[in-house]
Amino acid sequence: MGRDTLVKEFKGRKDHVDYIKRGIKVENEFIHTAKSRGYTVEIASEEENINKHIDLYLTYKGLTISVDVKARRTGNKNKSLDDAWIVVEFLNTMGNKGWLYGDCDYFAFEREHDYVVCEAKELVELTDKVVDKNTRVQNYSDAEYKTWGRSYQGKQDLISRIEMSLILNLNKTFIMKKSLDINSEVCHNSFINNNERKTQMSVLKGNAYWASIVSPNTTFDSDGVWSIDVSNLDEKNINQAKADGLDVKNKGDDRGSFVTIKRKVRRKDGNMNKQPEVVDAAKRNIASTMIGNGSEVNVLYSTYEWEFKGRSGVSADLRAVQVTNLIPYNVDADADEAFEVVPDGFVTEDSDEELTFAS
């Protein structure tokens, strides 16, 4: 390890000059932030930087970790910086393993006002769960939980985009603010004494009831809430839900033991959440399909802890729904029960579609 207090520029490919300069600038800013919070910082060697994807070593209370610092990335054609999504690299431009599979202990993702520092192992496990590596898209902007690369430029890279909120929910993630907050202590922003939120990414199996995913429910929230009751949970799924800190209910109706899982359309910061993904048994997108009560589903969610007016608890954030056995949503249920087919009666000629109550 080097002993310099700032990262020096090193030679790289000519087409990477601007990228390298910006990365070095962010690394030096991170060093300044880490030192202001009581960390001892040592610079990794050039060989460690290039071959092991290690930028720095941080030491705090006698424990040392290696860190790979990631600068903010653009998220659209306007080249504006995006703090809501991060980019993970599975393969580099040469087709070798990307930085996600380097040797660092932690990644530090830059945001406008802070750094989100997450454990490398947890990030790898997360991407294995949420990224569909078998689906490759043509545009960078479409690489949300799918893969994209610049093969059109003769490169062999493979990347994906995932939401920063997932990183924040990992157990060992902590925040390091760029400017020292006089109301916080160093121990609140360290890899030793981070916020021990018991977050989890899990899947529950059951029957769907009152699914509002194609169109969010606006009964109690004008912006809307995507939600689903995962019902008729067996003992295994009940135990999993309870282990995640969720409230398992049973009101004596057709739902049996159930858990309500939601995601608000609009976040507290005013930005919009991504609509939960809906796929079939073959993991094909069926986002416009209405899910009827009783459909068999697998529901992916993450947990998060909350505090409000002296109360606290754990809630589930709805990520995706897999429909393994669809019971079509019947919008004409009342008509279906009330009427019978009239043999010689009026039949519309505008559509060949059979009415739901015709048989």
Does residue 52 register a pLDDT over 80? yes
Can you say whether the dihedral through the CA atoms of 132, 138, 139, 142 is positive or negative? negative
Q: Comparing C-alpha atoms, which of 329, 330, 296, 301 is closest to residue 317?
A: 301
How confident is the model at residue 293, as a pLDDT?
A: 95
How confident is the model at residue 287, as a pLDDT?
A: 87
Q: Comparing C-alpha atoms, which of 241, 239, 214 is closest to residue 228?
A: 214
pLDDT above 90 as % of the chain = 44
- Across 204-214, average pLDDT: 95
Give residue-wise pLDDT tens across range 74-117: 765 556 788 889 999 999 988 899 999 999 999 999 998 889 99
Residue 129 CA: distances (Å) to CA of 6, 44, 103, 212, 323: 37, 31, 21, 24, 17
Give residue-wise pLDDT tens across range 163-180: 998 898 888 888 888 864
Do residues 240 and 110 lie in contact, with contact meaning Cβ atoms separated by under 8 Å? no
Q: Comparing C-alpha atoms, which of 102, 141, 139, 146 is closest to residue 124?
A: 102
Rounded to the nearest 5 degrees, what angle is found at the Cα of 268, between the Cα atoms of 263 and 273? Answer: 40
In this structure, what token pair is assigned to residue 313?
């608890």
How confident is the model at residue 337, as a pLDDT?
A: 58
How confident is the model at residue 191, as a pLDDT?
A: 63
How confident is the model at residue 354, as a pLDDT?
A: 41
324's enclosing H/E stretch is strand 311-325
Q: Strand, helix or coil at 148? A: strand
Does residue 155 register a pLDDT over 50? yes
Residue 243 burial (10 A CB sphere; 0-12, 13-18, 19+): exposed
How confident is the model at residue 328, as a pLDDT?
A: 87
Residue with tokens 């998060």: 304
Does residue 141 register a pLDDT over 90? no
How confident is the model at residue 11, as a pLDDT?
A: 46
The domain defined by 201-325 carries CATH number 1.20.1260.120: no
Are 14-189 and 201-325 in the same CATH fold?
A: no
- Across 54-69, average pLDDT: 93
Residue 318 burial (10 A CB sphere; 0-12, 13-18, 19+): buried
In this structure, what token pair is assigned to residue 358?
């015709």
The domain defined by 14-189 carries CATH number 3.40.1350.10: yes
DSSP structural state of residue 336 = H
Does residue 32 register a pLDDT over 80? yes
Task: Please give the residue that has the higher pLDDT: either 304 or 333.
Answer: 304
Residue 232 amino acid letter:
N
Q: Is the pTM of this model over 0.85?
A: no
Does residue 129 register a pLDDT over 50? yes
Identify the weakest region by mean pLDDT among 68-82, 248-262, 288-302: 68-82
Mean pLDDT, all residues of the chain: 82
- For residue 128, the tally of other CB atoms under 10 A from its CB is 9
**Neighbour-count burial for 150-168, b at 16+ CB within 10 Å, e otherwise:** eeeeeeebbbbbbbbbbbb
Query: What DSSP assignment string belongs to 229-293?
Result: EEES--HHHHHHHHHTT---EE-SSTT-EEEEEEEESB-TTSPBPPPPEEE-TT--B-TT--B-T
> Can you give the residue ranges of every domain in the chain?
14-189, 201-325
Residue 212 amino acid letter:
S
